[in-house]
Amino acid sequence: MFAVADTCFLIDWARWRRRDALFGVFRTVFVPESVLGEVRSEATLSWVVESMAQGRLSLFTETPDLIEEARSLVERTRLVPGLRGVDLPEAVCLVAGRRWRYVVLTENRGVLMAADILEEYRGVRVWRALEVIAAALRSGVIASSRPAEVFAEYEEDTKHFFPRRDLEAVLHELGGEA
CATH code of the domain in which 92 resides:
3.40.50.1010
Asked whether residue 177 carries a pLDDT value surpassing 70, the answer given is: no
On whether both 78 and 99 belong to a single domain, the answer is yes
Tally the domains of the chain: 2
Q: pLDDT per residue over 38-56, tens digit each?
A: 999 999 999 999 999 999 9
Q: Which are the contacts of 110, defined by CB distance < 8 A and separation ≥ 6?
A: 77, 83, 84, 85, 86, 87, 90
Tell me the three state secondary structure of residue 79. Answer: helix
Residue type (1 letter), 39: V
Provide the whole-model pTM: 0.96
Report whether 102 contacts 96 (CB < 8 A): yes
On whether both 111 and 33 belong to a single domain, the answer is yes
On whether both 157 and 102 belong to a single domain, the answer is no
175 confidence band (pLDDT: 50, 70, 90):
confident
On whether both 163 and 77 belong to a single domain, the answer is no
Angle of CA points 128, 12, 129, to nearest 5° = 20
Angle of CA points 130, 48, 20, to nearest 5° = 45
The gap between the terminal CA atoms of the chain, to the nearest Å, is: 29
Last residue of a domain, which of 111, 127, 143? 127
**CA–CA gap between residue 148 and residue 164 (Å, rounded):** 12
Report the percentage of the chain scoring pLDDT > 90.
Answer: 97
**Average of per-residue pLDDT across 123-136:** 98
On whether both 50 and 106 belong to a single domain, the answer is yes
- Domain range spanning residue 157? 133-174
178 confidence band (pLDDT: 50, 70, 90):
low
**CA–CA gap between residue 5 and residue 67 (Å, rounded):** 16
Q: pLDDT per residue over 68-121, tens digit each?
A: 999 999 999 999 999 999 999 999 999 999 999 999 999 999 999 999 999 999
